[in-house]
Structure 1
């Protein structure tokens, strides 16, 4: 009697396993995974400088179309804020800053950086330039409300660099945490003028005008990109960084007004 019973139990177990196998095979399909297996989907978190907010949304969509197994999520902030997040261990896969100094300070946390674009500064003024700002020297005029980014922000550092070079002393009415905050102050009429990247001024046509700064008086901003060493998706993060230097991404960056690396 014991043997027939064992055989029946064994047969029941085999039958149950056969019935459950198709269900088990279907579980978890479409979930985020890191191993690249069938049905896997990798989510990359990219920390990026505020001045890349618009162009990277376009670039991210293009990358996802070319790489259907990858989802790219961006977190935009001033480069100094992004650096602090990396040092504090924020979960992320890649980093793009608006200056090489900030990136170089994170050498222990990143792979080898690659400059993907460059930018220049302009003077953002209200639509129609109501205060008739013609150049950097006008920013020192009494009664003109000028806003700059804080000194620790790349665009703030570039701003002071070009002003100091010309011997121009400006007392900003406020110091902002990133370039988009400077642009917003001018756009909303809370400041008469502000120093921003050319691409930022171009991002709000009909709301602000841009007064060009001659090359001899200007500064060139570089945008390095690097994969983060602690990324759980190291290969995919590096692939995205490499793609940013490729023809598709470079075409998108050029169309947005960024200059060649």
Structure 2
């Protein structure tokens, strides 16, 4: 069967098994419901997914389940700061799917005309203060991070975890000078794990994934700085059927279970 025929069959099967499309229209590769992504036919070929660093463990597990249901597919992930990934896409980097950690970074892709349809929010995430196990410095609030001698890592403000941290700090009326600004949330978390800083403001999911090395301290201002995570199939996706199928699968109960278990919240 030719590649073009495969794509047609896969899209037809996807639309048949996932129910009615949303208002984006029948040709929208993101116009899928949360039903099974592959109930009758499998999706072939490579699928390249650019995703926020905070999705690393969850999307890796989701990719494994997707490949089990689609043996002819091969999902490759590139994880990093959402703003940097958006820049790669708008610069023409080939990819099929983009999953961002905030609507603001997704907007850079949609404004450039590189999205294949309307992005869909699939999870939300909330901040915590990551500290060494046992919290030896007793850092319990954002205000304590501004204490004398406390070393703090933050994400750079242009990436979603940094923008959310700035919003939370402003709400708390706290001004602090971090010792380092990191390009993504995993880099900020690594500074705590390595003992290079006393604390970092990271996502709850990242602190949970590193629970053997860090504790996550909840703080009230995080409730006003929750990030929505949108996902979209890209306009020039090399594998449009695969892109649509992966976006659909991320919204299935099976994939949502993986995300919720990791600490993400339902949208």
TM-score category by the smaller chain? 0.7 to 0.9
User: Displacement, 1:91?
Assistant: 0.9
Give the match for residue 254 of structure 2. 248
- Preserved CA contact (<8 Å) 1:34 1:40: no
Check 1:106–1:80 CA distance in 2 against 1; reply closer, same or farther (3 A cut).
same
Segments of structure 1 that go 5 or more residues without pairing to the other structure are: 1-28
Cα displacement string for residues 139-164 of structure 1 (whole angstroms, at most 9, x for unaligned residues): 11111001100010100000000101
Give the match for residue 152 of structure 1. 158
Check 1:188–1:60 CA distance in 2 against 1; reply closer, same or farther (3 A cut).
same
Cα displacement string for residues 205-232 of structure 1 (whole angstroms, at most 9, x for unaligned residues): 2201111112675411111000000012
User: Displacement, 1:34?
Assistant: 5.8
Answer yes or no: is 1:42 the counterpart of 2:48.
Answer: no
SS of match in other structure, 2:126: strand
Segments of structure 2 that go 5 or more residues without pairing to the other structure are: 10-41
Check 1:71–1:122 CA distance in 2 against 1; reply closer, same or farther (3 A cut).
same
Give the match for residue 19 of structure 1. none
Answer yes or no: is 1:230 the counterpart of 2:231.
Answer: no
Aligned mates of 2:83, 2:99 — CA distance in 1: 11
SS of match in other structure, 1:106: helix
Aligned mates of 1:40, 1:77 — CA distance in 2: 26
Give the match for residue 216 of structure 2. 210
Give the match for residue 6 of structure 1. none
Higher relative contact order (CA 8 A, sep 6+): 2
Give the match for residue 54 of structure 2. 51
Give the match for residue 196 of structure 1. 202
Q: What TM-score comes out, normalization by structure 1 length? A: 0.84
RMSD of aligned residue pairs (Cα, Å): 2.0
Cα displacement string for residues 52-104 of structure 1 (whole angstroms, at most 9, x for unaligned residues): 01111100000111112211110001001100100111110000000011112
Cα displacement string for residues 22-62 of structure 1 (whole angstroms, at most 9, x for unaligned residues): xxxxxxx9xx9564289993100000000001111100000
Larger Rg: 1
- Preserved CA contact (<8 Å) 1:98 1:154: yes
Aligned mates of 2:4, 2:82 — CA distance in 1: 28
- Preserved CA contact (<8 Å) 1:47 1:96: yes
Give the match for residue 96 of structure 1. 99
